[in-house]
Amino acid sequence: MNDLDNLVQSARAQFAQATTPQALENAKARFLGKQGALTERMKALATLAPDERKAQGAAINEAKAAIEAALQARRAELAEAELQRQLQAEALDVTLPGRQRGQGGLHPVTLTLQRIEAIFGSMGFEVADGPEIETDWFNFTALNTPADHPARSMHDTFYVEGGTPEAPLLLRTHTSPMQIRHAVQHVKRARAAAGDTGQGLWAGEMPEIRVIAPGRTYRVDSDATHSPMFHQCEGLWIGRDVSFKDLKVVFTAFCRAFFEDDELELRFRPSFFPFTEPSAEIDIRFTRGPLAGRWLEVAGSGQVHPNVVRNMGLDPEHFIGFAFGMGPDRLTMLRYGVGDLRLFFEGDLRFLAQFR
């Protein structure tokens, strides 16, 4: 084997050993660079006689072509290897399970409110919504609770800037102001429909007021069964001859539907509220399940006080009805067996996700 063949062999061997593009370029320089082995041989041509130079020149060119071909081949190999390495590194396992999007759900108290609305809706009740920042008038005075009434101290609340000394603003302590707000609008519409523009109390023809008003309420109170923000749902039914008997029928039907328990017992226990007379606390008793046998308070209620009927714009000689106010938070606790009210408002997904 002559010298040039050896050189080509050697170049092929060194290219094959180069495992990176950089090493390959270095190997190339050793043969084809300015001081490369092949270049040296080309320079040496000058010293040869013309005949020899021609033959040797042709041989060198052949060797050069062979080395360049080997170089290209190795470059392609390294590029392919690099591509494979990258593909390997970025490989996607399409058989892996997908990343799930967290599934949302309704808050347990929202589920209860929807349930309340559906059940009362089926009994012909409208759903009304109103402001959480209330005036003293709607929250207390219109509900037969004047400024010096001792019942106000049971509703210690959060006062809000922006009111006046005569008309302070506060976070509503109950949903009962909605009785007045809704009834006043209802009466106004009924009067307008009857073409009556008078100012006095109304005794004309009017569709019955049958409404519930769920929403957030506030009191300065915080423990396992009280939260400074909590929910209430007000109910009101006013007509010509709506009696305490109707309250019992309606509320019993509601509770039995809500708890899906036809044997659920109810007790109307005499009580006091300024805006009802007579008044009753409503207790329920399960006949089965973990809470069976105990009386549990779920609502306040009563026949709407004549002064309140008057503040609705209605003549209490002609209109009469009942109202109730219940705690959806408590209903939710009873329905799902939750022991601490605060769990509802802490936003802990481990708790909330259980109701999805």
Kindly state whether residue 276 participates in binding ligand DAH, applying the rule CB under 6 A: yes
Which residues does 214 contact at the CB level (< 8 Å), separation at least 6?
113, 116, 117, 127, 175, 231, 232, 233, 234, 328
Long-range CB pairs of 150-159, under 8 A, 24+ apart, other chains included? 151/273, 151/274, 155/219, 156/219, 156/220, 156/221, 157/218, 157/219, 157/220, 158/218, 158/220, 158/228
Q: In angstroms, what is the minimal distance from the CB of 242 to ligand DAH?
A: 13
- Decide: is 332 part of the binding site for ligand DAH (CB under 6 A): no
Question: What is the smallest separation between the CB atom of 235 and ligand DAH, expressed in angstroms?
Answer: 7
Interface residue with ligand DAH among 41, 174, 181, 210 (CB under 6 A) is 174
Sign of the CA dihedral 192, 321, 235, 221? positive
67-126: contacts with ligand DAH (CB under 6 A): none
302 is a site residue for ligand DAH (CB under 6 A)? yes
Give the span between the Cα atoms of 276 and 323, in whole angstroms.
Answer: 8
Of 176, 227, 311, 332, the one binding ligand DAH by CB under 6 A = 176
Residue of 14, 135, 301, 311 that binds ligand DAH (CB under 6 A): 301
Question: What's the min distance (Å) between Cβ of 154 and ligand DAH?
Answer: 8
Q: Is 329 in the site for ligand DAH (CB under 6 A)?
A: no
Half-sphere exposure of 264 (CA within 13 A, CB side): 22
Give whichever of 31 and 254 is closer to ligand DAH, judged by the CB atom.
Answer: 254
Q: Residue 223 gets which letter from DSSP?
A: B
Least distance CB 332 / ligand DAH (angstroms): 17
Q: What are phi and psi of 88, to 5 degrees?
A: -60, -45
| Region near ligand DAH per CB under 6 A, out of 49-57, 86-94, 257-265, 298-306 | 298-306
- Asked if residue 277 belongs to a known ligand binding site, the reply is yes
Query: Residue 98 CB, nearest distance to ligand DAH (Å)?
Result: 49
Site for ligand DAH in 196-235 (CB under 6 A): 234
Q: Which of 108, 215, 300, 328 binds ligand DAH (CB under 6 A)?
A: 300
Pair 344, 96: CB distance under 8 Å? no
**β strands within 86-245, DSSP E:** 126-127, 133-135, 159-160, 169-171, 209-218, 229-239
Q: The tokens of 350 are what?
A: 């481990």
* Residue 257 interacts with ligand DAH (CB under 6 A): yes or no: no
Candidate ranges 25-33, 199-207, 320-328, 331-339; the one touching ligand DAH (CB under 6 A): 320-328
Interface contacts to ligand DAH, rule CB under 6 A: 174, 176, 234, 273, 276, 300-302, 323-325
Query: Which residues belong to the annotated binding site for Mg(2+)?
Result: 277
